[in-house]
Chains A and B, each alone.
Chain A
Amino acid sequence: MLELFDAALLARIQFAFTVSFHIIFPAFSIGLASYLFVLEGLWLKTGDEVYLSLYKYWLKIFAIAFGMGVVSGLVMSYQFGTNWSVFSDKAGPVIGPLLAYEVLSAFFLEAGFLGIMLFGLSKVGKRLHFFATTMVAFGTLLSATWILSVNSWMQTPTGHGINELGQFVPHDWIEIIFNPSFPYRMLHMTLASYLTVSFVVGGVGAWHLLRNRTSAEARRMFSMAMWMATFVAPLQIFAGDLHGLNTLEHQPIKVAAMEGHWQRQTGAPFLLLAWPDSDREENRFELGIPYASALILTHEIDGETPGLTDVPEDERPPVGLVFWSFRIMLLVGGLMALVGLYSAWLRWRGTLYDVRWFQKASIWLAPSGFIAVLAGWIVTEVGRQPFTVYGLLRTADSLAPVDAPAVGASLLAFIVVYFALFGAGTYYILRLMGVAPDGEGPKPGVPVRAAGTTQIASLGLEQSTGGISNA
């Protein structure tokens, strides 16, 4: 029994580890594909070469991120079976077809047109090439749609029955696909992906602005990124609020964990800090804003909000992790909105490209989207525990008949390989980001190695590699 528990825990860690690594790449490539679509579209419309050089600049980065997304995603599609075979057997009839649709409608579209997007500009002409970019961008969004539908069904399952073998079987596909939490999760994640890319682009733009204030490319990307931050970051807070209210309706205990509330209460405070203690079923320490939680969740000052003790102990998620991840997400999201608002102020004053401390801050905030995305997913996934299919199938009952040593060995292998290979990929991406975007960087069609031998480019490389991490 003890051994089974160990295998279960290891399998959960392995899934958490591989999916956390994986989500970084799609979160980036969904937004970046849309950005590339906008850049190429604007180039075709206006003929402004700045858009084209930005397109080529970000395309190289996209290629690496996309490749890492493909190979880390491949792992996910088999891991359901290797480690969670009972879940696969039981939930397969419902979520399997949705995954199959993702592969058929999205993955092939992306992969089929990626080659043309990367290598084909000289072969197919501008218009067809733009079509390829459009298909890749559309494919990334379509893929997000299907996988978020699957995830949402596991959170808020509807439209199914359970057969004599204990399998979930589909009754109404529309109800399954458009399950109650799906529209909110879809909106929240798509905006998150766009914001993630905006802050990366903004950070890279700021980095080059600090080195060369006249660079048209650097100004253009910094400006585009800050427009996104101005409009999308506040919109995201609104979307997140809607998502939270939906969670309150369908997964009240998850919300109780996010809020750190042990007791059902009226006029609940919003806790800024707390130390949740599951054994004592209370917070050891808390600091909160009176009535704020009730006001946010029920829109009434003395509204009633759920508490963790509404359900037996074995139906509660791990509280501390959910509570703290939620606060990290809120903090980062709030910072992003502040950046957006402040940039609007600077733009209005006409000093967007001149305020150096703001550019330095933008560099620091470049990875903020990734942090918020990971924290948000930890909230929603850990908050779903102890179930895989919320309320219906327990995580402990989903496991494959695997031994702890086998899972432990594979977990170790994943950790070593992912850190080494995706670490190298991240390093190469940072190096590309360090190259100036205004024509000093590698020319299309010329191997990077050749460019690296010219002095200007190699100077740029050296500056950047040490720089971004120290900046």
Chain B
Amino acid sequence: MLDLPLIWAGLLSLAVFIYVALDGFDLGVGLLFPFLADDKERDTAMNTVAPVWDGNETWLILGGGGLFAAFPLAYAVVMPALYAPFIVMLLALVFRGVAFEYRWRDSAHTGIWDASFVFGSFIATFAQGIVLGAFVQGIDVQGRAYAGGWWDWLTPFTMMTGVALCFGYSLLGAGWLILKTEGDLRFRAYRLATFAAIATFFFVCVVSLWTPLLSPEIYDRWFSMPNLYFVAPVPLLTAIVAALIAWGIAKRADSLVYPATVALLGLCFVGLGVGLTPYIVPRAITIHEAAAPDSSLLFMLVGALVLLPLILAYTAYSYWIFRGKVQPGEGYH
């Protein structure tokens, strides 16, 4: 028999990672919005993400819905535990989501909707970073329910992961703008990418060193023999990819910065996975304990195996249609 819970843990991890890679760049564009020169640059930056942002956000719905479906117990524990960050993140996503259309509809108040876009992007990213940090540091569980307090998620570690994710998404956003724009805006995106890259590298190091200190289990996972041999490639590859990003920025390699940043975040993701398996709620509930019955998982797997390749295909097609540099003034508005 197939290990269905494990397969679904893999599929959901993939969905969350695709979310980070895709919505990460459009949230990142929101974070960089205040640093663009004028309304013309902001219009162009907005138009690079307008045709694809709601597809990107759909991966987050899949993350939430998929967790609900495949691991209802984990969903039922994690959501109340991270009540405030999740609600704040959702509200912030509302603020930035409506801005895509509203800012074109009201010339007198473009500034308000730009602010809505920037703060929404910032708060949503920061909240996602907090969620990530709070998840890694552990959740207090008794029986089948969350047993901690309302502010358990608020720690120095989660504040740090919140800030870290802002820089990570900024680098994705800068990489995306480099890929999609020309002229002054592209030049500015390179300058922003330089700052974002330095900060991101710094925070990757901080997270890597801080996380093992959170729990002896994670520490052992990384630093005991023979584990060290198996996990050593992760930091090595991370260093190589970081060098690649730095090289891409220095050499003005337009099509390198964004994919290399995705690879960097992917390696961080793998690193987290190393520390967390086999748990779905770290050190409290394992993947198998939280899983829905096989009949549910199998029913969904059939659909996912047919639909996921289709989704990837037409998503890729949509990106292909809108490939290349976006010209100023392009858009349907």
Chain A residues close to B by CB (< 8 Å): 59, 63-64, 66-68, 70-75, 77-78, 80-82, 85-86, 88-94, 96-97, 99-105, 107-109, 111-116, 118-121, 123-124, 163, 165, 167, 169-171, 173, 400-403, 406, 410, 413-414, 417-418, 421-422, 424-425, 428, 431-432, 444-445, 447-449, 452
Kindly state whether residue B80 has any CB partner on chain A within 8 Å. yes
- Given A100-B300, A421-B98, the answer on whether A169 and B84 have CB atoms closer than 8 Å is no
Contacting residue for B69 out of A70, A97, A119, A400, CB 8 A: A97
Give the complex CA separation of A238 and B238 in angstroms: 64
Contact digits for B111-152, partner A, Cβ 8 Å, 1 yes 0 no: 000001000000000000000000000000000111100100
Chain A CB within 8 A of B215 CB: no
B62 at the interface (CB under 8 A from A): yes
CA distance A85 to B68 in the complex (A): 10
**Chain A nearest Cβ from B87, distance in angstroms:** 5
- Distance in Å: Cβ of B46 to nearest Cβ of chain A: 11
From 33 to 72 in chain B, residues with beta carbon under 8 angstroms from any chain A beta carbon are 43, 50-52, 54-55, 57-58, 60-62, 64-70, 72
Would B51 and A119 count as touching, CB distance under 8 A?
Answer: yes
- A321 vs B123: C-alpha distance in the bound complex, in angstroms? 38
**Complex partner residue of A99 from B60, B68, B97, B105, CB under 8 angstroms:** B68
Q: Beyond A108-B58, A115-B321, A167-B293, list 5 extra A-B contacts (CB 8 Å).
A: A89-B73, A96-B69, A424-B98, A444-B332, A449-B104
In the bound complex, do residue A85 and residue B150 qualify as a contact, i.e. CB atoms below 8 Å apart? no
**A417 and B72 form a contact (CB under 8 A):** no
| B94/A72 in contact, CB under 8 A | yes
Q: A89-B144, A92-B75, A96-B72 are in contact. Are A67 and B303 (CB under 8 A)?
A: no
**What's the Cα separation between A113 and B73 when bound, in Å?**
34
Complex interface: chain B residues within 8 A of A86 (CB): 76, 145
Q: Is the CB of A403 within 8 A of B79?
A: no
CB–CB A105/B93 < 8 A: no
Taken together as a complex, chains A and B put the C-alpha atoms of A72 and B61 apart, in Å, by 11
Binds A, one of B200-208, B228-236, B310-318: B310-318
* CA–CA, A75 and B97, complex, Å: 12
* Range of interface residues on B (Cβ < 8 Å): 35 or more
B267 vs chain A, min Cβ distance (A): 27
Contacts of A163 in B (CB 8 A): 293
Query: A22 to chain B: closest CB distance in Å?
Result: 11
| A109→B300 CA distance, assembly (Å) | 17
**How many angstroms from the CA of A100 to the CA of B304 in the assembled complex?**
9
Give min CB distance, A112 to chain B, whole Å.
5
CB pair A77–B106 under 8 Å, yes or no, is: no
Is B296 among interface residues, defined by CB-CB distance under 8 A?
Answer: yes
Q: For residue B299, which residues in chain A have a CB less than 8 angstroms away from its CB? A: 97, 170, 173
Asked if B29 lies at the interface with its beta carbon under 8 angstroms from chain A, I say no
Cα A170 to Cα B83 with chains together (Å): 29
Given contacts A93-B292, A410-B87, contact A401 B315 (CB under 8 A): no
> In the complex, what's the smallest C-beta–C-beta distance from B132 to chain A, in angstroms?
15
Q: Which residues of A have CB within 8 Å of B314?
A: 108-109, 112-113
Q: Could you say which residues of chain B place their CB within 8 Å of the CB of A449? A: 104, 107
Give the CA-CA distance A67 to B72 in the complex, in Å. 28
Which residues in A have their C-beta under 8 angstroms from that of B333? 447-448
Known: A85-B76, A100-B300, A447-B333. A67 touches B101 (CB 8 A): yes
A103-B76 CB under 8 A given contacts A63-B101, A81-B68, A97-B300: no
Determine the distance from Cα of A36 to Cα of B94 in the docked complex, in whole angstroms.
Answer: 25
Identify the closest chain B residue to A72 (Cβ): B94
Supposing A85-B145, A104-B62, A447-B104 touch, asked if A93 and B98 sit within 8 A by C-beta, the answer is no
Question: Given A77-B68, A417-B94, A448-B333 in contact, is the A92-B54 Cβ separation under 8 Å?
Answer: no
Q: Which of B72, B97, B107, B292 has the most CB of A within 10 A?
A: B72
